[in-house]
Amino acid sequence: MYTVIKRMEISAAHSLSLSYPSKCENLHGHNWIITVYCRSSQLNADGMVVDFSHIKHVVMGQLDHKNLNEVIPMNPTAENIARWICEQIPTCFKVEVQESEGNMAVYEKD
């Protein structure tokens, strides 16, 4: 089994729709650290699990310096962002989303 890991930092804003009063309902930003894990039992024709630039294009190209409410089709919590990223990359099985020091969400496919 081959595994590749790509770690990136993005700057992005979001506002959360919550069932309780919270300052997070206001538009605010984070410097997010995103770690993407991809694996495959076989390499593609280019000898890769996935090209690192493809992962970068999905994460940086679609999320960096964006309002995540306009990109993610669900409440853009760290958990939902992790799942959305994982679903965009065919060989991805796990994504970690750190929105601030000490606050991280992980999505992992079964």
pLDDT band at 110 (very low <50, low <70, confident <90, very high): confident
pLDDT average, residue stretch 70-93:
97
- pLDDT tens sequence across 23-33: 999 999 999 99
Total-model pTM: 0.95
Instruction: Delimit the domains of the chain by residue range.
Output: 2-108
If you classify domain 2-108 with CATH, what class do you get? alpha beta
Mean pLDDT in residue range 5-19: 98
Spatial separation of the C-alpha atoms in residues 108 and 97, rounded to whole Å: 12
Percent of the chain surpassing pLDDT 90:
97
Q: What is the pLDDT of residue 73?
A: 97
